[in-house]
Structure 1
Amino acid sequence: MIQAIGLTSTPRRDLPPLVDDLTFEARPGCVTALLGEPGSGKTTALRLMLELAPGRGVTYFRGRPLHRIPHPAREVGVLLGDVPGHPSRTVRNQLRMLCAAVGVPAARADTMMEVVGIGGLRDQRLGSLSAGMDRRVGLAAAMLADPCTLLLDEPTAGLAPRERAWLHALLRGHASLGGTVLFTTDDAKEAARSADRVVSIASGRLVADQDAADFARTRLRPRVAVRTPHAARLADVLGREARAAHRGVEIVEESGSRLSVYGSSCAEIGEAAFRHGVLVHQLADETGDTALPVPPVPQARTGAGSGVRLEARLEAAAQVRTGPHPGTAASDPRPGTAASGPCPGAAGSGSADPGSGATDPAITDPRPAATGVRSAAATPPAPPAGPAATAGAFPRRARPARDARTVRPAPAVRRIGGPLRPVRYELRRVFGTATPYLTAVLVAVVSAATALVLARAGHTSQNRMLAAWPEPFPLPPAALGAGLLGALAFGEEYRYPALAADRGTVPRRLGLLTAKLGVCAALALLLGALAVTADAAALHLVFGPALLRAPAEWAAPAASWAGLLVGCAWAGVLASGAFRSAVLGLAAVLAVPVAVVPLVRKVLEGPSAHPASGVASRLRALTSAPLPPEADRFVLGALRVMAQPVGAALLLSLMVLLCAYAFTGLRTRVRW
């Protein structure tokens, strides 16, 4: 159940608001179309409902506003525009990453690909998909968590008629299980043919809220659909008789043997065809275009677990008919009541919960769901309003009915965001593209080449040769690679917002930040080990084993190297999260040795009036548990690293970036 109350967008300067006091309902168990011309405010209305645009008003999803729902993706499935994802990411990797974000098993991605008919495109990249396949991937992403509500913005834009029929059949199957479907369109015939209820808006204001049959009867042009093998002859006959009777009749020859006759009736056309001996196969009063047959809804692989409710949706979609079959009596067997089935995502539904191990029900009717034309005489029963309808649709999760006029949004609510499984999400995000692999190869090659040049030139310490860090360079290649991977951690989120489809900006919460910092630190250490190994192997191969010798002190250089790499990676993560750009994140990493290190070096120059000797022994005294003697070496090594200009500058930069990130990303969102 969706209740939109008083939606009003923030007006632009000297212009009226795009949405002005819009109030309507979308009931469970039926499909609702939000109809309006381009620029009428349909997309803005959806964004206001999802709290993605500033404005007034409130929208309740089964009695709760979106910011009061702990996990919005499990309640509302959203498709706004194109699929948000990196173009080089495959379809399967994208859906598996989103599975970790919404907290469902990764096997759900394969099941949903079978449901929407893209099982053969699992290894196809997002950037190479057609418009129809892109819409299917978007539907799969919206339905991953099996939400009760679907909000779709122009889902059929750019699709072929058969693709449109398939999509509406899938939405009909979702609604037949008690779900709520709301989609926007600017085609009145599509709204009358595919929806149970049509909400018409113009200039952001509500124009009409009608059942689809009433909408078709009052706002669409009635016509007679004729199917005959002698279409040209019958059109000529009807035209001559209309001119003789001085009646205004418009005849449109459709593809094949179809005619659309406006301004006449079935009786008049049938009598004219009988008088002239023209064979007629179909004669029906209709509104809108006659739809093409629907291709079969693809069947998911049978199995236990998360695909159970999806199989039930397939069964319902295969049995649903969206209008009378050509040549049959006008009827509409579609379910129109809220009690037609439980919500797909509600507890206590007729199907098993994901992970329960139950098998899916057998599909008894594998025939394709034919999408015909809604007849003006076929009036589906409207879903009953009130608490009875809600309780019938959602038996265990129903909330008490409230009067829409007395509902007020709750103040001071912290909105929960971020993926439910952040570490798994981050791992799939990182390794879903070739960026980390290409970065590692490039760093190893550049680092080895730089080490060879330094060894040939001489006058370079062994530690700098192994790190491939010449004196004039601000950072070694491994540190730059770690900073790049860190900058992409949040930079790709803002450029390809996989987490922003139903939440607006990327939700920067502590769980997501911790996962990104941990994964980037591990990648940085692996990158550093790879660079040192590549440098040592190159030096040994070219100059022999005499060039390298076992170091007498390795703990302090190793800690310094690890600290440099991890610090650069973390600086990239925090900077890209604070500035919302991967380029600015990498620039912040480069700014540490270029701008911050000289300032810190000036501060640390000169003798100290009070030397900090004996810090290790005093730190040992603060701990009650005995420490091994080797701990002094690690403590002194860490202190020595932080006392260096580069270490101090990096530590200072991390503190500043962390404060900036906390200021921009961890603020409480208060809604009144």
Structure 2
Amino acid sequence: MLQAIGLTSAPRRDLTPAVDDLTFEAPPGSVTALLGAPGAGKTTALRLMLELEPGRGLTSFRGRPLHRIPHPAREIGVLLGDVPGHPARSVGGQLRMLCAAAGVPVSRADELIEVVGLGALRDEPLGSLSLGMDRRLGLASALLGDPHTLLLDTPSVGLSPRENSWLYGLLRAHAGHGGTVLYTTSDPKEAARTADRVVTIDRGRLVADQDAASFARTRLRPRVAVRTPHAARLADALNREARAGRRSVEVVAREDVGSVLTVYGSSCPEIGETAFRHGVLLHQLADEIGDAGPAVPAPAAPAPVTVHVLAAANVPASGAARTPEVSEAARDSEVSGVARTPDVPAASEAVRVPGPAPAPGTRVARHMRGDSAPLPPPLPSRPVRSPLRPVRYELRRMFGVRSAPLIVAAVLVASVALAVPLARTGATPLPGLLAAWPALLPLPPAALGAGLLGALSFGDEYRYPALAGARGTVPRRLGLLLAKLLVTAGAALLLASLSVLADAGALRLVYGAAAVPVPDNWIALSAGWAGLAVGCAWAGLLGAGVFRITIAGMAAVVAVPTLVGPLVQKALAGPSVRSVVGLPARLRELAWLDWPRQADHWLMATVRLVAQPVAAALALSLSVLLCAYLLTGLRRRARW
């Protein structure tokens, strides 16, 4: 059971809170609609439940608040607005990436792709999906962890009647297996025909909490839809008999369809008998529901939705006009759903069933779970806590789009294009040739490319968030940071190695093997080159993580040699009165360890490397950015 108690959003300035002391329940095994006009606070209420919005109140999912759920992805599935994700990422790549974050098998993605009907679009990019396909992908993302509770924000907006039918069929199938479904809507008719309970809010406060039958009886207005080629004759006959019987009957002609009448204050049997007495041919006679009033307005100019309870089910055998066939409007309504009306007995209560329309005159019984839409098989066990989960997620995130390969290709081309002309002059030392680092550039292409890869790791996360809406699937921010540091370091080392190999190969090809001798201190040079590449990648990563934009990460990378480096060099300028000579021996005495004498050489080489102005500036920048990230990124506790 989902229980929301006292949800109150934080007020902004002098405005009243968008949600004010909202309390309700969504029982398991049923579909609950959170109904309200646009701006009533429905989306804010969902965000408060997921702790994505500052405020007060408590939300428990089967008796536990969100921060006490060990595996949130296995408990809560979320769809807030559009499906977030890089538009160039494929449908299958998006779901496989989310599988890695949620700790579920990759096969789960393939199962859900088939369930939601996206098998033919498996390799299509997210940016090319239509609104209906996007909603299908969003529902697949919400169902990925086999959650007990589904929280959906206006899932049917912009969908066709058939897509609506499929969507609510799948939601009811999920509820039929004991799950809890809560979705928001602004259409009261949609809530009446698709939900078991309707929670109505207005200006963030609770208005009513009713079952669907009570809601339809108290909040919606019953009416009868009549289709006849003699609409004017029938309307005149109904008005004359209503005046004679002193009954309040309102007959409204549909302007868009001249042969359709909407009758308020009457019933199918009465209208059928009137038509029989006056010899009026009927093509359709069916119950409908309309809006109760402006309390919860529906979308502008909604098309009437015909209920599946046909006139033949309610018209007596004596003298009542029976509908010979179901009209096109009725068939459309059978796709989009039906509404339960208080005038219809429970036995003839009709509900939406996905698939072909039922035969005329048949009564559609309430379907049980699993009859409306197939669900994927349940996951057998809970995911195992593993530090590799965020690493797998980050690998799929980075290499799921073409950005990383394109950056690597551009860096290699630029590096070779710089190295070959630099070697021609002979003024650049060998390390500078292999790194393709002319004196005019603050950093070599490989270091800039590594910084860009790092900046995109967090920059794309904020620009195209894959996990922003589904709080439960986000790895712990510290674990996610460590995974990004590890993956970007590996990508930077790979890029640095490839650029050196490409430059060396190009120089050998153009100038011969003698142009690229192996230096004696190649180990120290390699260590410095690797440190520069990894440091730039981390500077871009942390800069983008602090300021939440890719360009800020690149600015942090370029600032190291252009701003921080000169300041460090000026601070270290001047005569030295102290020396680090003898540091290895003093460390050996302090640690009481007797390491090999050869290690002293490597230790002093590392110290000299770190003492370089650029290295010191990079270390200082990384320390500042890491502290800033910890202060800004970890202020709000996130769950693994």
What TM-score bracket applies, with the shorter chain setting the length? 0.7 to 0.9
Q: Could you tell me whether the CA contact under 8 Å between 1:101 and 1:419 is conserved in 2?
A: no
Kindly indicate whether residue 359 of structure 2 is the aligned counterpart of residue 333 of structure 1. no
Shift in Å at residue 562 of structure 1?
A: 0.5
Describe the superposition over 1:305-339 as per-residue Cα deviations: whole angstroms up to 9, x where unpaired. Answer: xxxxxxxxxxxxx9967999574466652459xxx
Q: Of 435, 449, 453, which aligns to 1:485?
A: 453
Distance 1:252 1:430 in 2: 56
1:304 aligns with: none
Correspondence list, 1:186-205, <5 A: 186-205=186-205
1:236 aligns with: 232
1:102 aligns with: 102
**CA shift in 2, pair 1:419/1:142, >3 Å:** farther
Kindly indicate whether residue 602 of structure 2 is the aligned counterpart of residue 652 of structure 1. no
Describe the superposition over 1:331-387 as per-residue Cα deviations: whole angstroms up to 9, x where unpaired. Answer: 652459xxx9xxx99xxxxx764379xxxxxxxxxxxxxxxxxxxxxxxxxxxxxxx
Say which is worse superposed, 496-505 or 447-456, in terms of deviation.
496-505
**CA shift in 2, pair 1:328/1:25, >3 Å:** farther
2:380 aligns with: 354
Distance 2:603 2:360 in 1: 87
- SS of the aligned residue for 1:183 comes to strand
**CA shift in 2, pair 1:27/1:128, >3 Å:** same
Shift in Å at residue 17 of structure 1?
A: 1.6
**CA shift in 2, pair 1:43/1:199, >3 Å:** same
Distance 1:508 1:459 in 2: 50
Shift in Å at residue 554 of structure 1?
A: 0.8
**CA shift in 2, pair 1:163/1:324, >3 Å:** closer
Distance 2:419 2:629 in 1: 36
One-letter amino acid matched to 2:58: V
One-letter amino acid matched to 2:576: S
Say which is worse superposed, 620-629 or 643-652, in terms of deviation.
620-629
Q: Could you tell me whether the CA contact under 8 Å between 2:411 and 2:499 is conserved in 1?
A: yes
Distance 1:174 1:614 in 2: 71
Distance 1:670 1:102 in 2: 14
- SS of the aligned residue for 2:231 comes to helix
2:138 aligns with: 138
Distance 1:249 1:506 in 2: 56
Shift in Å at residue 259 of structure 1?
A: 6.0
One-letter amino acid matched to 1:528: A
Q: Could you tell me whether the CA contact under 8 Å between 2:224 and 2:266 is conserved in 1?
A: yes
Q: Could you tell me whether the CA contact under 8 Å between 2:72 and 2:472 is conserved in 1?
A: no
1:424 aligns with: 392
Alignment length (residue pairs): 575
Q: Of 467, 473, 488, which aligns to 2:435?
A: 467
Kindly indicate whether residue 560 of structure 2 is the aligned counterpart of residue 592 of structure 1. yes
**CA shift in 2, pair 1:161/1:254, >3 Å:** farther
Shift in Å at residue 473 of structure 1?
A: 1.4
Distance 1:545 1:200 in 2: 79
1:273 aligns with: 275
**CA shift in 2, pair 1:352/1:550, >3 Å:** closer
**CA shift in 2, pair 1:514/1:12, >3 Å:** closer
- SS of the aligned residue for 1:442 comes to helix
Describe the superposition over 1:596-632 as per-residue Cα deviations: whole angstroms up to 9, x where unpaired. Answer: 1111111222231122123344445566666455534
One-letter amino acid matched to 1:238: L
Describe the superposition over 1:400-455 as per-residue Cα deviations: whole angstroms up to 9, x where unpaired. Answer: xxxxxxxxxxxxxxxxx999811100100010110110000000011111111211
1:502 aligns with: 470
- Which runs of no fewer than 5 residues in structure 2 stay unpaired? 244-248, 291-304, 307-331, 337-350
Distance 2:637 2:412 in 1: 44
1:573 aligns with: 541
Describe the superposition over 1:521-579 as per-residue Cα deviations: whole angstroms up to 9, x where unpaired. Answer: 11000000111111112212222222111212211101100110111111122222222
Percentage identity across paired residues of the two chains: 63
Q: Could you tell me whether the CA contact under 8 Å between 2:542 and 2:625 is conserved in 1?
A: yes
- SS of the aligned residue for 2:250 comes to coil
Distance 1:19 1:322 in 2: 39
Distance 2:66 2:425 in 1: 64
Correspondence list, 1:178-577, <5 A: 178-226=178-226, 231-245=227-241, 246=243, 247-252=249-254, 260-275=262-277, 277=279, 280=282, 283-287=285-289, 289-290=305-306, 292-294=333-335, 327-328=360-361, 332-334=365-367, 353-354=379-380, 421-503=389-471, 509-577=477-545
Say which is worse superposed, 521-530 or 60-69, in terms of deviation.
60-69
Say which is worse superposed, 62-71 or 441-450, in terms of deviation.
62-71
- SS of the aligned residue for 1:233 comes to coil
- SS of the aligned residue for 1:475 comes to coil
One-letter amino acid matched to 1:167: L
Describe the superposition over 1:119-178 as per-residue Cα deviations: whole angstroms up to 9, x where unpaired. Answer: 111111111111101111110001100111111111011111111111111111111111
Q: Could you tell me whether the CA contact under 8 Å between 2:250 and 2:263 is conserved in 1?
A: no
One-letter amino acid matched to 1:442: A
Q: Could you tell me whether the CA contact under 8 Å between 1:555 and 1:637 is conserved in 2?
A: no
**CA shift in 2, pair 1:115/1:129, >3 Å:** same
1:18 aligns with: 18
- SS of the aligned residue for 2:479 comes to helix
- SS of the aligned residue for 1:78 comes to strand
One-letter amino acid matched to 2:538: W
Distance 1:332 1:254 in 2: 32
Distance 1:33 1:603 in 2: 65
2:572 aligns with: 604
Say which is worse superposed, 609-618 or 167-176, in terms of deviation.
609-618
- SS of the aligned residue for 1:609 comes to coil
Distance 1:44 1:594 in 2: 45
Shift in Å at residue 509 of structure 1?
A: 2.6
Q: Could you tell me whether the CA contact under 8 Å between 1:419 and 1:512 is conserved in 2?
A: no
One-letter amino acid matched to 1:424: R
Distance 2:86 2:397 in 1: 10
Distance 2:212 2:38 in 1: 21
**CA shift in 2, pair 1:36/1:518, >3 Å:** same
**CA shift in 2, pair 1:138/1:670, >3 Å:** closer
Say which is worse superposed, 240-249 or 48-57, in terms of deviation.
240-249
Q: Could you tell me whether the CA contact under 8 Å between 2:334 and 2:357 is conserved in 1?
A: no
RMSD, aligned α-carbons = 3.1
Q: Could you tell me whether the CA contact under 8 Å between 1:237 and 1:272 is conserved in 2?
A: no
- Which runs of no fewer than 5 residues in structure 1 stay unpaired? 296-317, 346-350, 357-416
Q: Could you tell me whether the CA contact under 8 Å between 1:93 and 1:432 is conserved in 2?
A: yes
Say which is worse superposed, 257-266 or 156-165, in terms of deviation.
257-266
**CA shift in 2, pair 1:419/1:324, >3 Å:** farther
Q: Could you tell me whether the CA contact under 8 Å between 2:335 and 2:354 is conserved in 1?
A: no
Shift in Å at residue 669 of structure 1?
A: 4.2
2:609 aligns with: 641
